[in-house]
Structure 1
């Protein structure tokens, strides 16, 4: 088995801003696994928020050079995270040449289109562009400032769309029940990770009319028990679960505990977005617009049209 890994940088169509900062490019690690004449490709996004760097992830990947392993073995060779994700997804493609078409995928999957943090007027304009392009699901990035004003601006431009909110752990300084009460009339379908991971026990005391979704608080199936009573949904990202194999395990465990499923992504190319499609096919909410936010996707990348990923 031969493994190659390369850092690839994609320029973004516009600045992408969340509560932790702003970016104008997406840097990813693309990994190729060759075995017995077959080739699989995976992609991951090392994340400093989770203690990862490109150097640390590359070191994990290179530690397996010359080792013969499959997806089951990989679960014991590397911990969940970006490195295992890239290798796991490459192995899925290597072992299943028609991946992900070998799964029962629909003709199209509705995906959220993401509005990043800016002034209410700028967020309204970005929303207007998405709605003009046919989007029906809008994901709004927020910090603790101008929460109602920004959401109101988005809702004005998207009166009929499903609107979901991603606070990226930034609402620790806010009165969460009052904030939720204030924005509820705007018909918000979901709020993602309002409090920092590890500091979200307060959510057990909240009876929210808007479903809450765990992102940073949920990486793998092992986290689900600690989410009960706080969240009604989990955001499955392959860079957290360590690949599609771990994602299936998290999906199964979450559903067994009565939670709904969302599929999310980091910024990246269609290589990463395609890998999440088998989970997205049965998820309540899908946010796989990462490849739509970069300027030059891979050749034969996914097709985004009318707010959907067209698959046939």
Structure 2
């Protein structure tokens, strides 16, 4: 999950629709505070006042500096080459890997007028970017010495903040390095490092989610434009019976030539579980034949667990069994 470093908390996560699986009560208490043991004038030992629930961290924005680290992310070396049979450029996630507690991603953002400075670190990558203060409050986009190297931070979409792009509880970070020469077997092309990571304020509420919830999400996965999501938005549900678990997903389409309707290729479904103790979401991605074709990890963010983010990896026959990585994030709706 994500934790803040220094003075501010940041939120980040992939947009995805899902409904929360509840079952049983939440672990927040109910009812009044019991009276103290013993009397005021005598023998009993007063019961100490109940511990105060800390206020949730404020939503983050680009108006102030922040820093955080996250274990919710997926990264890979992305390999691009020319398909000798079709003459089409292909893109594959050659080495997809989920982040872990021993190998997190770290992002810092500093407001230093007239500039802003962002630094990202993960798995041997350590890059710093400087740019003039951005005019758009909802996201930032930095470039290296050329536009081939890029760092993006932010919701990416007015949909996610429902018309307000001034602050967020969760956001997605995307970094891609400049390409270098790369060979895989007989294929010769270029490679670059790519990461999708969620940053933000993890929900402080824990326990089973008592009522099933539906989340509206959006996102994307790696491709060169010939394959894409059929729709940019998805619905995901976390079932309150904790037997059904998490379900939802998206459809993969092939881009049609000359602007025609995209061709629907495959329906991919998320099936997994919510951990009531950590709010971690994990599971598999299955195709329309219920075959396991990938995996996902996710989390819940913000007050009342109303924000969600996923990262995932998959490979399906319909896209040549090439490996892809992607993200979804969104809000209850």
The structure having more radius of gyration, on CA atoms, is 2
Larger relative strand fraction: 2
TM-score, shorter chain, exceeding 0.5: no
Larger relative helix fraction: 1
Q: TM-score range by the shorter chain?
A: under 0.3
Structure possessing the higher relative contact order (Cα contacts under 8 Å, 6 or more residues apart): 2
TM-score by length of 1: 0.27
